[in-house]
Structure 1
Amino acid sequence: MNMINTTPNYIENIPEKLILHIFSYLHLKELGKIARVCRKWRNLAYDPRLWECVSLRPEYNGLSINHTDYLMNLIHNRFGSKLRYIEMPSDLITPSVLHDLAAKCPSIKYMTLDFSKAMQLHDFNDLNSFPCNMKSLCICLSEVIFMEGFMRRIYQCLNTLQVLHLIGTFELSNEEEEEIFEVINIAKIKAHTPNLRLVNLYGINFVDDSHVELLASNCIHLECLALNFCLRVKGAAFSTLIQRCRKLTSLLLHHTSVADEHMMAVPWEKSQLRELDITSTEMSAECLLDILPRMPGFRYLAVGHCDFFDDKVLDMLIQKNKLRDLIAIDISHNDTLSENAINRLIQKHGLQLKGLILTGKPKLTEQFWLNAIPYLKNLKVCSMGTANGWFLKLTSRVHVDQIISSISQNWTNIERLEMQWDPDTIRFGDNSSKFIDLIRLRCPRMKSMTLSDGEYYEMVKSNYERADRLKVVRTTTNYTTSIVTFLSHFNDLLFN
C-alpha cells in the first residue's frame, strides 16, 4: 500500500542550498528586499557567495551608496573573501575603502573605477595598499581631473594586470575645439604592466600614435588592441606594433583617423591579425586593396560606413581566399557595394557565417533576402533593412511575412535579429500572426528581435508576450544589433 506524503510543502522546508541557488539569480537590490522577510532569508541573502560581483554605480543599474562608512561596513561584513568584481564611482574611491578592499577581499580580480563625473579627487597621499592580484582594471577618465596623484600610489600593484580599459569622454564631448589634457600617463602605466594581453583605449581625445608606440614597446604579450573613437590615431605606430607584438590577433579601429600612407607602410604580412574593425574610417580603395590581402585572413571583419570598400575589394578578398575562416562580417551602409557582389559573398561563405550586418542598402528588399536566407543556415546574429530617413528612400514596399517565413524555416539557431524597415516600408497581411508564431516556435533561441516602432512591432511584441517571452521584442530606437559578440576577446572587452 502506497503511503501519501501529507507534509505541507512550506517554503521553509526547501533546503538552504537550493534557496541559495535560487537567490543567485536575483539582482543585489532584490537581495536587500528579501533579506527583510525573516532571519533565515536574511542570513542567506547576505551570504558572501551571492555578493561576488557588485556594482555601486546607480546609473548602470548598480546599488546606490551615499557614504563610505556604509561601504566599508559592507566590505567587512558582506563581501569578504568571495568578492571578485566591483564597480565604484569617484565619491566612494577613498584611501580607506581601497585599503579595506585590499585587506578583506583578496579574491578581487576585476575592478572599475569611475572618475568620469569627478569634480575633484580625494587626497591619496595616505594610500599605501591596493588590490594586487587583479586581472582586469577599468578606469573611466574625466576630461579635466588629472590622475597622476592617484596612479602613483598604485603602479606597483598593476604588474598582474592582463586587461586594461581606459575609457574617455568621446560621447560627452562637443564639436567646439577645447584644450585637450593628457589626464593619465600611459607611458608610466605601460612600464608597470608587462603582462597585458588586451588594451582598450576607448574615446580618449588625447591618445595618438605616440601612445600606441609606448604600448608596443613594452606590452609584447598584447593580443587585442582597441582604439575605437580615438580620433588622433593615424596609424604611424602600427609598424612598431606589428613587429613587436607578435601575438596580436585583434585590432579595432572604429572611427579613428588612420591614414593611407601609414597603413600601407605596415608589414601586415608579418602579422597574426584575424579580427579587424575599420568601421567609419576613410581609407581609399587603393589602400584597402594594398593592406587587406597582406593580412593572413579574417575571422571577423567590420567595414561598415567605409565608402571605398567596393566590389573590387570584396571580390579580391574572396579570390585570394582571405575569408575562408570568416564567421562574422559587417558591411552595412557601404553604398559602393553592389547586390551582385554581396550575393557572391553569401553564396561562397554563407554557410560558415554566424554574424551578418547588412543595413543601409535600400535595394536589398525581400527578393534579395528570400534568395540569401537559405545560404545562411548557421546565422546567429543578423541585421537587415534601411532605417527611416536614410538618404535614399524606398519606393517599393517590403513584404515582411515572406522574410519571416523563410527565416523560421532556415535560421533555427538565430539569436538576434534586427529589421530596420520603417512602418511606411513594411507590408504585412492578415495572416501575419501565423508567421510570427512560426518564427517564435521554430527559432527558440531568439533573445532579441528588434523592429522599427509601429503597428507591426506592436503585433510581434504582443505575440511574444502572450508566450511569456517579455524581453525578446525591442525597438530600433533603444537597441542596436551588432556582431561584436563574435570577437574572440568579447568578454574581456566589455566595460560599463
Structure 2
Amino acid sequence: MGWWGVTGQEAPGRGHGNKWHKWDGRGWMRHRGSMRRSEAAPGGAVGKKGVKQGGPEPSGAPGPTGTCEAALAGRAGAGEGFVVATAAMAARPALPDSVLVQVLALLPLRDRLRAARVCRRWQQLAQDRAVWTHVDLSPHRISRRTLWHLVRHRLPDSLSTLRMRGAPRSGGKQRLLSPALLAALRKRCPQLHRLCLTETDLRHVPYESMPASVTTLELSLCDIPDAWFCVSPSVPPPQVQHLAIDSIPTFSDHHLLDISSQNHLKTLSLCGTYGVTDMGIQAAAPHLEELERLTLRHCIIGDAAMVFIGRHMKQLRYLEISNAYFLTNRGLVAIVTLEHLETLCLDLYDLVSLGTVIALLQVLPRLNHLKLGGTCFEDELLGKIQENFPHCTISHTL
C-alpha cells in the first residue's frame, strides 16, 4: 500500500480508520484524530478537525504521479529543512560505477554480499569481476560447504588473491580444504596467484594439489606432514616463487630443502620455524641463488648459515636476521659479498659489535637502509654514524 497522492490508497501503518485523503492544496486530511503540528506542511496551522488552515502548498508536495523522493519531501512531519535537504540530494550527481566498484572491492566479504541487496544497480556492481579480484575469508571461520558455494557461484575467473582460515587438527568434514575442492578452485580461478592459509589442516591435502597458477604461498599456524613439499617426479609442482612460513614448528630443514630444490624462489620468509638450523641453510643455499628477499626470524642459525648465505645468495636485495642469538662478528662479515644488498635488518646482541656493522656500511655500495635492533644505542652515536654515511638511512628499534 502507498500514500494518498501517490497511489490513491490508504497510508501504511496508520491503523484501522486512520485514513489519509488526497492533498487538497492546503494540507493532508484524515478521518479520525487531529494532525500533529509536525505533520502539517510548513507555513500553516492545524484546525480542530485535522485540516490544515491556510499556507502555501510546499514545493515538494506529491501529486498523483509524484516520485518517492517527492513524496518524502512533502510528507507530513518532514518540515522545511527536510524539503531543502531532499532537493539538494536529488540535485547531487550519483557516483560513477567505476568509483563504486573500487569502494566495494575494499569492503569485507560480508559487506559486499549485503551491498548486493541494496538495489539492482548495486547488485550488478557487487558482481563485477574487479570486486572479487582480492578475497579475504580469514576473518570468518567458514565451513567447507560454504567454501564450495563460493567457488561455484561467487569467485570469478579474475580472482588473484585468496585468504582463508581453517581449523587446526580438524578431521573429516571439518577440514576446510580437500583435493577435490582445490581442483575446482584451480579450474574456476585460473589467474589465482596468491594463496594465504591460516590455521589450516594440510595433512590430507597433497602439495601437488595446490593450484598450478599460485606463485605466492603463505602458510601460518598450519599443520603440514613431514614430506609435504616432496612431490612425485611425474607430477609438476606448483611454481611458487614467494614462500612465507609463519609459526609452523614442524617446518624443518628437509622441508626447506624440498621446496628450494623444486622452485626458483625469489622471496623466502621463515618466522618462528625453530626446526630450521645452519645445516638446513647450508643444504638449501645452492638452490637459492636467485633469491632476492630473505627473512629469518626465530630460527636457530649462527655463523655457518651466514657463510653460505654470503656464498650462494648473491642476488639478495633485502636481508633480515632477527633473534639470532648465536650470530657473531665472524658470521656478519661473511655477507660482505652481497653487492646488491639494499636493506639490512639486524638484531645485535653481545656477540656482534657496532664496529662490524660500520665496516659493512663501508663495503656494501648499494646499502641504503640499515635497521638495527636488540641493543640500546645512544642517539648521539647513531647520529655520528649517519653523518659519516649520508647515503644510508639508519634506524633503531628496541
Query: For the residues of structure 2 that align with 1:28 and 1:222, how far apart are their CA atoms?
Result: 34
Query: For the residues of structure 1 that align with 2:379 and 2:98, how far apart are their CA atoms?
Result: 59
SS at match of 2:156: helix
The amino acid across from 1:101 in the alignment is L
Q: Where do 5+ consecutive residues of structure 1 fail to align?
A: 1-5, 59-63, 171-179, 307-332, 361-496
Q: State the 1:227 CA deviation.
A: 0.4
Contact kept? 1:146, 1:183, Cα under 8 Å: no
Q: Where do 5+ consecutive residues of structure 2 fail to align?
A: 1-86, 167-174
2:244 paired with 1:165: yes
- Residues 327-346 of structure 1: pairs in structure 2 closer than 5 A: 333-334=376-377, 337=378, 339=380, 341-345=381-385
2:321 paired with 1:245: no
Look up the match of 1:74. 150
The amino acid across from 1:187 in the alignment is L
Look up the match of 1:223. 292
- Residues 337-356 of structure 1: pairs in structure 2 closer than 5 A: 337=378, 339=380, 341-345=381-385
The amino acid across from 2:303 in the alignment is G
Contact kept? 1:124, 1:149, Cα under 8 Å: no
Cα 1:297–1:128 shift into 2, 3 Å: closer
SS at match of 2:121: helix
Alignment match of 2:190 (pick from 106, 123, 140): 106
Alignment match of 1:185 (pick from 255, 258, 262): 255
Q: State the 1:238 CA deviation.
A: 2.4
Q: State the 1:152 CA deviation.
A: 4.2
Cα 1:110–1:11 shift into 2, 3 Å: farther
Contact kept? 1:203, 1:228, Cα under 8 Å: yes
Cα 1:51–1:160 shift into 2, 3 Å: same
Look up the match of 1:33. 114
Identity %: 20
Look up the match of 1:206. 275
Look up the match of 1:24. 105
Q: State the 1:21 CA deviation.
A: 3.6
Please give the per-residue CA displacement for 1:228-271, whole angstroms capped at 9, x wherever unaligned.
222x1113032222222221122210211243264166262464
Q: State the 1:212 CA deviation.
A: 1.6
Query: For the residues of structure 2 that align with 1:154 and 1:76, how far apart are their CA atoms?
Result: 29
SS at match of 1:344: helix
Equivalences, count: 302
The amino acid across from 2:105 in the alignment is S
Look up the match of 1:478. none
Query: For the residues of structure 2 that align with 1:235 and 1:151, how far apart are their CA atoms?
Result: 27
SS at match of 2:187: helix
Look up the match of 2:215. 135
Cα 1:160–1:182 shift into 2, 3 Å: closer
Q: State the 1:83 CA deviation.
A: 0.6
Considering only CA atoms, is the larger Rg found in Structure 1 or Structure 2? 2
- Residues 363-374 of structure 1: pairs in structure 2 closer than 5 A: none
Q: State the 1:140 CA deviation.
A: 1.7
Look up the match of 1:147. 225
Normalising by structure 2, report the TM-score: 0.65
Q: State the 1:130 CA deviation.
A: 2.7
Look up the match of 1:95. 179
Q: State the 1:347 CA deviation.
A: 5.3
SS at match of 1:80: coil
Q: State the 1:102 CA deviation.
A: 0.8
Contact kept? 1:202, 1:228, Cα under 8 Å: yes
Look up the match of 1:84. 160
